[in-house]
């Protein structure tokens, strides 16, 4: 259900239930969680790329999963939340290639990418209120931070279906490309990131998420602590050396 492929330091994860628009089931979420954990632990993986197989990225929760035996959603969301926690805690950059529809928690997962590309035919809809639910999988945290409160109110309360161009204009994605070029473009970004200073990326990711809940004084202090850490990496030394020698740096990810 989650395909894994390695290419030059990039782990490509593909949600693979194309016949169900990659709708999310507990089993798929558990596989995704395991794949993220393994990627985190594997020093050979220096960037991740998440995409979907077939015509959708992900339709969100598989609404057919539960039948008559609907579980308590609060409990079920633990399986989502550990995926989201794993994505947010990743110490490597995550590129997301939105190949088609991204709805509900499927859209939430897409937004956790540090760099998000969309195919021209991709669409985005929060979907939650359409079935009488509230945003989850970090959508209420991330969406207002990405697009501002006013747009988040609109997207969450009215749930319009946005085109890739509209998503780009709002800052939901960073780039839109023709569908047939999506994977190649996303892979090029992921490979570039996989050659980069992995620790600095990890710490930058952490700062961008943490500082939201900090005061300026606390944010400055966290920046200083993490700059201390970045300053002790081999990659920092190499970066400065390469700058002095007027050549491209060769980062090793430590």
State in angstroms the smallest separation of the CB of 247 from ligand LHQ.
Answer: 48
Q: Is 51 in the site for ligand LHQ (CB under 6 A)?
A: no
State in angstroms the smallest separation of the CB of 137 from ligand LHQ.
Answer: 7
The beta-strand segments (E) located in 92-167 are 94-98, 101-103, 115-119, 123-125, 162-163
The separation between the first and the last C-alpha atoms of the chain, rounded to the nearest angstrom, is: 32
- Which of 6, 7, 73, 129 binds ligand LHQ (CB under 6 A)? It is 73
Angle between helix 139-147 and helix 149-157 axes, rounded to 10 deg: 130
Q: Are 197 and 252 in contact (CB under 8 A)?
A: no
Q: What mask, x for binding ligand LHQ by CB under 6 A, covers residues 102 to 141?
A: -xxx-------------------x-xx-xx-x--x-----
Q: Is 84 in the site for ligand LHQ (CB under 6 A)?
A: no
- Which of 22, 51, 61, 198 binds ligand LHQ (CB under 6 A)? It is 61
Q: Are 193 and 174 in contact (CB under 8 A)?
A: no
Q: Convert 47-92 into a string of H (helix), E (strand) and C (coil).
A: EEEEEECCCEEECCECCCCCCCCCCCHHHHHHHHHHHHHHHHHCCC
Which CB sits closer to ligand LHQ, 134 or 240? 134
Q: Is 21 in the site for ligand LHQ (CB under 6 A)?
A: yes
Residues found near ligand LHQ in the complex (CB under 6 A): 20-21, 23, 59-64, 73, 76-77, 101, 103-105, 125, 127-128, 130-131, 133, 136
């Amino acid at each position: 259900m989650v395909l894994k492929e390695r290419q030059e330091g990039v782990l490509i994860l593909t949600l693979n239930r194309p016949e169900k628009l990659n709708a999310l089931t507990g089993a798929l979420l558990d596989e995704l969680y395991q794949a993220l954990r393994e990627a985190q632990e594997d020093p050979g993986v220096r960037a991740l790329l998440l995409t979907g197989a077939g015509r959708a990225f992900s339709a969100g929760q598989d609404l057919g999963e539960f039948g008559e035996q609907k579980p308590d959603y609060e409990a079920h969301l633990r399986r989502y939340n550990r995926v989201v926690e794993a994505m947010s805690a990743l110490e490597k950059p995550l590129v997301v290639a939105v190949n088609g529809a991204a709805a509900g928690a499927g859209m939430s997962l897409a937004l956790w990418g540090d760099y998000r590309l969309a195919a021209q035919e991709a669409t985005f809809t929060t979907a939650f209120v359409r079935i009488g639910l509230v945003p989850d999988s970090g959508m209420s945290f991330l969406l207002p931070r990405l697009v501002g409160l006013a747009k988040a109110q609109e997207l969450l309360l009215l749930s319009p279906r946005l085109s890739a161009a509209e998503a780009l204009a709002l800052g939901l994605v960073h780039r839109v490309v023709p569908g047939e070029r999506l994977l190649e473009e996303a892979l090029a970004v992921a490979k570039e990131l996989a050659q980069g200073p992995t620790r600095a990326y990890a710490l930058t990711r952490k700062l961008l998420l943490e500082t939201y809940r900090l005061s300026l004084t606390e944010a400055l202090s966290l920046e200083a602590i993490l700059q201390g850490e970045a300053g002790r990496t081999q990659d920092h030394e190499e970066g400065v050396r390469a700058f002095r020698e007027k050549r491209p740096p060769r980062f090793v990810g430590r």
